[in-house]
Amino acid sequence: MAMMSPNGGHIAIVGASESSRIGVVPDMSMIQLHADAARLALEDAGLTPADVDGIATAETQVIEVAAMLGIRPRWMDGTTIGGCSFLAHVRHAAAAIATGQADVVLITHGESGRSWVGMPNYSMNPRGPDGQFEQPFGAITPYSLFTLPALAFLEARGMSQRDLAEVVVAQREWAIPNERAQRRSAVTVDEVLAGPRVAYPFTRDMCCVVTDGGGALVLVSAERARDLPSRDRAVYLLGSGEACESVLVSQMDDLTSFGSFRRASAEAFATAGVGHADIDHAMFYDAFAHLPLYMLEDTGFVSFGESGGFFADGHTRPGGRLPVNTQGGGMSYSHSGMYGMFAIQESMRQLRGEAVVQVPGIETSFVQGVGGLFWSAASLILSNRQP
């Protein structure tokens, strides 16, 4: 088999599904959420577990997912770099298919983040870098750790807590009509600011929801995709990138601009061979309200200091010039702990014309993920047209 590029539209995502239910699902375990989503994604592709020869997942053992579904893979990837792991899996799977190491790759996610059914116990390691240099100071939970650089970001730009609230308000607009979204009531900036205090400058609605849920993707070569019943709904990988920095937030190269966002997205654009003006839709992994602000600037959609105004002026809302987080995002839709799979799923629905709040006539979608608490990043550029 001739070697091909993993980017440039040679690899297609032909199956995509979230678990049948998301939100509060106390009657399904973590592994069941993986399997439920996997079976739906394979059905969506017109394939069965017997067709799968490659498998990838994060946190959970690949072996456990394979065994659950009766799959005997010849290619495996357990890369765990936080919630953007699934974006990295798409990139890695594309490389495996392009080089003939796998023909049909299944990527799964499942997490009982809210009900904690079938999940491992959470334990701290007092001997790790975080256990010695973060946790003793109370920087343990995402809301007390991921949030730490936000004031430095805002102050460097003359922005304020209101700019965080504007992100919430803009994204909530997409969630209101979406029955699968967790937070669906319209809010104002003042209401967001007056909400329950979590960690100044963050109030409750500036923090993601905590949910149960899963999702899965099926990837094949674009050539193979043409023979599948799902061929008219295939989505192609144009470009991808990944990057990491440190497991300690304090060791970010720059508190006010995340280098991993810059490097991963730059590689995605370079490998895709498209520019920002070609992007019709974006998913910015939003565990907290400052992340879309960092991402909008660090991925080059706007210049330094323009992110707050971009959200406040409505450019990311329905009808805006760059629709962002169109199912409501992690702060309104669903966030099981590792949100990356949900971001990809919404890009798939938008590119297939199947979203609850559909952006009309779109061809390309950009997905920016983050892993851990400013640990890592991964980026994808997807299209419903093969170049």
Partner 1 sequence: MSIGPIPEPTPETLAFWQGTAAGELRIQRCRACENFYFYPRPFCPKCNSDEVEWQPVSGKAQLASYIINYRPYEDFQTEEPQIIALVTLAEGPRMCTNIVGVAPDPDQLPLGLALQVAFEPRGEQFLPVFKPARS
Binding site for partner 1 (CB under 8 A): 124, 126-127, 129, 131-141, 143-144, 147-152, 155, 197-202, 248-251, 255
Shortest Å, Cβ 50 to partner 1: 46
Residue 137 or 385: the one with the smaller Cβ distance to partner 1 is 137
Which residue's CB is nearer to partner 1, number 117 or number 255? 255
Question: Residue 242 is which amino acid?
Answer: E
Token pair, residue 103, equals 């023909």
User: In angstroms, what is the minimal distance from the CB of 245 to partner 1?
Assistant: 11
The rounded Cα 68 to chain-centroid distance in angstroms is: 25
Distance, CA of 6 to CA of 9 (rounded, Å):
8
* Shortest distance (Å) from residue 251 CB to partner 1: 7
**Could you give the dihedral angle defined by the CA atoms of residues 304, 307, 313 and 317, in that order, rounded to the nearest 10 degrees?**
140
Query: 62 or 206, CB closer to partner 1?
Result: 206
Cα separation of 211 and 105, whole Å?
A: 26
Measured at the CA of 15, the angle between CA 211 and CA 34, to 5 degrees, comes to: 35
24 vs 124 by CB, closer to partner 1: 124
Structure tokens at 271: 């490998």
Closer residue to partner 1, CB minimum distance, 198 or 210: 198
Q: How far apart are CA 327 and CA 316, in angstroms?
A: 12
264-267 contact pairs (CB < 8 A, 24+): 264/368, 264/377, 264/378, 264/379, 265/241, 265/298, 265/299, 265/300, 265/366, 265/368, 265/377, 265/379, 266/241, 266/300, 267/239, 267/240, 267/241, 267/242, 267/243, 267/379
User: Nearest distance from residue 237's CB to partner 1, in Å?
Assistant: 33
d(CA 359, CA 319): 8
Instruction: In angstroms, give the least distance from the CB of 129 to partner 1.
Output: 6
- Cβ at position 85, least distance to partner 1 in Å: 24
State in angstroms the smallest separation of the CB of 256 from partner 1.
Answer: 9
Closest to partner 1 by CB, 101 vs 250, is 250
Q: Which is nearer to partner 1, 141 or 303 (CB)?
A: 141
- Count of other CB atoms within 10 angstroms of residue 162: 15
In the complex, minimum distance from the CB of residue 167 to partner 1, in angstroms, rounded to a whole number: 17
Among 78, 86, 105, CA closest to 342: 86
Comparing CB distances to partner 1, the nearer of 48 and 144 is: 144
Q: Which amino acid is at 248?
A: L
